Structure 1
Amino acid sequence: MNASHRGRWLALLCLLPFALFFILFQIAPLAWVALNSLNTPDGWGLGNFSKVFSSRFYLQAIKHSLQIAFWSSLIGIVIAVIGAYSLRQVDSKLRDFVMAFSNMTSNFAGVPLAFAFIILLGFNGTLTILLKQAGVIEDFNLYSKTGLIVLYTYFQIPLGVLLLYPAFDALREDWRESAALLGASPWQFWRHIGLPVLTPALLGTFVILLANALGAYATVYALTTGNFNVLTIRIAAMVAGDISLDPNLASALSMVLVGLMVVITLVHQWLLKRSYHVAR
């Protein structure tokens, strides 16, 4: 056996633990959920999915999940783009501090985040009272869909900054200078050069933020104690059996969540191919 073959077998051997881990903790659970989603009291079939899509309650959960994920991701990525670009223009010490802070806040979620927002923006929260006294707002309900979008946006922004910051390395300063010498305005530079170069990173980050929001559970549960109707709350409720125990229906809802992510990913890939053709 020559050196190249030995190197190939060694690489495959090193890959084996990862492959086993991936199969045991990714593929096997997904296959188990998919199998159980087809298990109904009347036998195997699509009865659970029929129940999901014929119920206004579950359709509302899907709608709320998509709305919160979309708007929090959209607002988050807009602010993250501005933040990541601004970090390129500031002192390195301030940049390092903001990146470290973003890294910390991107993991600040769940019960601590919900508690912090209740203190700040609850019905009697500090900021809520101050904004009401200043006449900026008349009423704000943190426990509504709007409140959840604000809450989700908070942990979307630092994640977006961390993901988009390296993407700006692709923008070379001499491109901007060349465009300016040729008479291009800043808007024309971003329209014809900057945004097309950043498009793959923007689309990829947006998909990650959508997945991050669609799969969030601890934060919304801690804030609303499970009373707001989103997919993750419904899945957990049917598995825990607080009101009704139906793990097979929970599996069907989980597959709906997986299906949403598959559709989003396929659209992302289609937009990427389209952006590459436009760039050419």
Structure 2
Amino acid sequence: MRSTRGKLIALLCLLPFALFFAAFQLAPLVWIALHSVQAAGAWGLGNFREIFASPFYRQAIGNSLDISLWSSLIGLLIAVLGCHSLRQVNSRLRDFVMAFANMTSNFAGVPLAFAFIIILGFNGAITLLLKQTGLISDFNLYSKTGLIILYTYFQIPLGVMLLFPAFDAVREDWRESAALLGASNWQFWRLIGVPVLTPALLGTFVILLANALGAYATVYSLTTGNFNVLPIRIAGLVAGDIFLDPDMASALAMLLVFLMSLITFVHQWLLRRSYHAQKR
């Protein structure tokens, strides 16, 4: 009876979360899925056919994937190097850097866009300095390259916070044992460190990719909606001033859901392969 009562109490405690999840996660997703297959009041796949037939929408998909992939990879690489370096410094500096990463991970939207305009805009402080020193001849913050730099900025602190605890799995005595057996530092990381960190690296990469694919406020504030990425197109179809088409916006949103589902599936498949390889 105690076990039954405990399970009942646990279910009652879970009920508010279940209601919240159903109301704000499942219900909007079902609504979007239903409206994505409606076009002009009729059921069908017309919205998706129009998306893949339109160079404009294909460009939005390509730009979103390009920016998200590059910013996630660069952000992950810098986060890995940063976490490895933080393990070598004193605890006071490490705590300061982690607190700073926690703060900067929430620095996004209009303030971040304004900061980058001041620093790296056409007349930004760093842009003018690099031009005067001859290191660059031209730089456009509002181009794809500029957006990759901007996205990478808010990917790095998130990657550091996600990866830093994972480095606890790489024990120092393993490194010492490998060194005693004649292994170099490169061999240790290639054969021991990276395989141990692989699940965390893959999981962090998926989260960074999702973070970049869904980013809207910063890129909109920077480009005022003039750069063609999926979140901008979805927002324009839902809350634009000229042309509104919630059904087409739903279809584009479902494409984002499909892309993230595919990435998550590949992530899980790679994790299973990594797990079985480690067991062998």
TM-score range, shorter chain: over 0.9
Aligned to 2:128: 129
1:218 aligns with 2:220: no
Aligned to 2:98: 99
Structure-to-structure mapping, 1:76-225, within 5 angstroms: 76-225=75-224
Give the CA deviation at 1:42.
5.5
Taking the aligned partners of 1:114 and 1:200, their CA distance within structure 2 comes to 33
* Residue identity in the other structure for 1:104: M
* Residue identity in the other structure for 2:3: S
Helix, strand or coil for the counterpart of 2:206? Answer: helix
Aligned to 2:65: 66
Aligned to 2:232: 233
Give the CA deviation at 1:146.
0.2
Aligned to 1:245: 244
Give the CA deviation at 1:77.
0.3
* Residue identity in the other structure for 1:260: L
Aligned to 1:41: 40
4+ runs deviating over 2 angstroms: none
Taking the aligned partners of 2:276 and 2:137, their CA distance within structure 1 comes to 49
Per-residue CA distance 1:125-148 (angstroms, 9 max, x = gap): 000000011111111000000000
Give the CA deviation at 1:249.
0.3
Helix, strand or coil for the counterpart of 2:113? Answer: helix
Taking the aligned partners of 1:89 and 1:81, their CA distance within structure 2 comes to 13
Taking the aligned partners of 2:277 and 2:120, their CA distance within structure 1 comes to 44
Give the CA deviation at 1:275.
1.1
Taking the aligned partners of 2:111 and 2:140, their CA distance within structure 1 comes to 19
* Residue identity in the other structure for 1:256: L
Percent of counterpart pairs with the same letter? Answer: 76
Taking the aligned partners of 2:14 and 2:30, their CA distance within structure 1 comes to 22
Taking the aligned partners of 1:271 and 1:145, their CA distance within structure 2 comes to 30
Per-residue CA distance 1:49-84 (angstroms, 9 max, x = gap): 111111000000000000000000000000000001
Per-residue CA distance 1:93-113 (angstroms, 9 max, x = gap): 111110000000001000000
* Residue identity in the other structure for 2:125: T
Helix, strand or coil for the counterpart of 2:161? Answer: helix
Taking structure 2 as the reference length, the TM-score comes to: 0.99
Taking structure 1 as the reference length, the TM-score comes to: 0.99
Give the CA deviation at 1:253.
0.3
1:20 aligns with 2:19: yes
**Please, which runs of 5 or more residues in structure 1 have no aligned partner?**
none
* Residue identity in the other structure for 1:206: F
Taking the aligned partners of 1:279 and 1:91, their CA distance within structure 2 comes to 32
Taking the aligned partners of 2:241 and 2:275, their CA distance within structure 1 comes to 49
Give the CA deviation at 1:243.
2.2
Counting matched residue pairs gives 279
Give the CA deviation at 1:279.
1.6
